[in-house]
């Protein structure tokens, strides 16, 4: 890598993976060509590392920002960790249990729930093709937690936003919202990674589609929103490509001139 090298960060759900959680062939080919053109490729996702291991292997990518910026890996080496405060999470947990709002806790290897069985968890995790996590209510105290999931409808979210200002809440499903440390974002994770790499800001690109991609697209030199992106993300994007299911990644890379001829 030299100072004129380029790097592209890709979100996963709705960006690399289509609406059926599958990797379009055009996307796989475009990323292979991108690498052949000397462009560095990385992932920036809200997912935990264990949730996209197969995708990393398929695309041969070992540099990633996970948990929306809380756990950053550069070529297989962990270079930044920002776990949630256990004590502050305990306070939130007490209220959530009182209101019967379930939680799921995630570290880099696995996830556990604080309830045995809940329809909101089944529905939300099922949309990612994951099963309801096993019950392990003490998991919060036993490991570093980089992200928690709170399972509530949007109408019940305001109380949390007002009462727990040490956390950043990002909705990703009609029944679920991410809980991150205040100030945590994919942009922070990318910033930490770029401290290790010689890329100029204008040579940094990112693709995304969700609310958790807003800071990332604002931070990088060129932010590209998918055609299926959330309306709020479209407002901050430098460019907008086609829907993920319409060869959106390939088209977007062509739009910004990274695939060549």
DSSP string covering 158-212, please? HHHHHH-TTEEEEEEETTEEEEEETT--HHHHHHHHHTSS---GGGEEEEE-SGG
Mean pLDDT of 149-159: 95
Active site residue 13: no
Give the domain-ending residue among 131, 163, 181. 181
In a shared domain, residues 90 and 72: no
Residue 261 in any domain: the answer is no
Residue with tokens 């105290």: 141
CATH number reported for the structural domain that contains residue 204 in this entry:
3.40.50.1000
Q: Is the pLDDT of residue 183 over 90?
A: no
| Model pTM score | 0.90
Burial call 168-198: b when 16+ CB within 10 Å, e when fewer: bbbbbbebbbbbbbeebbbbbbbebbbeeee
Mean pLDDT of 4-15: 95
Residue 176 sits at φ, ψ, to 5 deg, of: -150, 145
- Catalytic residue, from 2, 11, 60, 166: name it: 11
Q: Is the pLDDT of residue 260 over 80?
A: no
In a shared domain, residues 155 and 118: yes
* pLDDT value for 4: 77
Mean pLDDT of 119-123: 97
* pLDDT value for 210: 94
* pLDDT value for 119: 97
Average pLDDT score over the chain: 95
CATH number reported for the structural domain that contains residue 158 in this entry:
3.30.1240.10
Domain total of the chain = 2
User: Which domain range does residue 76 map to?
Assistant: 7-81+184-255
In a shared domain, residues 109 and 175: yes
In a shared domain, residues 108 and 169: yes
In a shared domain, residues 19 and 49: yes
């Amino acid at each position: 890598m030299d100072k004129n090298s380029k790097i592209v960060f890709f979100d996963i759900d709705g960006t690399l993976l289509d609406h059926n959680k599958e990797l379009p062939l055009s996307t796989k080919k475009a990323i292979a060509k991108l690498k052949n053109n000397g462009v560095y490729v990385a992932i920036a996702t809200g997912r935990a590392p264990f949730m996209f291991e197969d995708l990393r292997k398929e695309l041969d990518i070992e540099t990633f920002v996970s948990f929306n910026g809380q756990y950053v890996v550069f070529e297989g080496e962990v270079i930044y960790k920002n776990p949630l405060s256990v004590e502050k999470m305990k306070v939130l947990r007490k209220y959530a249990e009182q209101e019967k709002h379930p939680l799921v806790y995630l570290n880099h290897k696995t996830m556990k729930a604080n309830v045995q069985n809940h329809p909101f968890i089944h529905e939300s995790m099922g949309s990612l093709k994951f099963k309801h996590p096993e019950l392990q209510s003490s998991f919060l105290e036993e490991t570093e937690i980089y992200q928690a999931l709170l399972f509530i409808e949007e109408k019940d979210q305001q109380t949390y936003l007002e009462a727990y200002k040490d956390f950043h809440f990002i909705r990703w499903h009609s029944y679920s919202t991410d809980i991150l440390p205040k100030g945590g974002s994919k942009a922070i994770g990318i910033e930490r990674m770029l401290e290790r790499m010689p890329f100029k800001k204008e040579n940094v690109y990112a693709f995304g589609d969700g609310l958790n991609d807003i800071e990332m697209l604002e931070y990088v030199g060129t932010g590209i929103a998918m055609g299926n992106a959330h309306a709020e993300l479209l407002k901050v994007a430098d460019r907008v490509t086609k829907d993920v299911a319409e060869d959106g990644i390939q088209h977007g890379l062509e739009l910004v001139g990274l695939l060549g001829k």
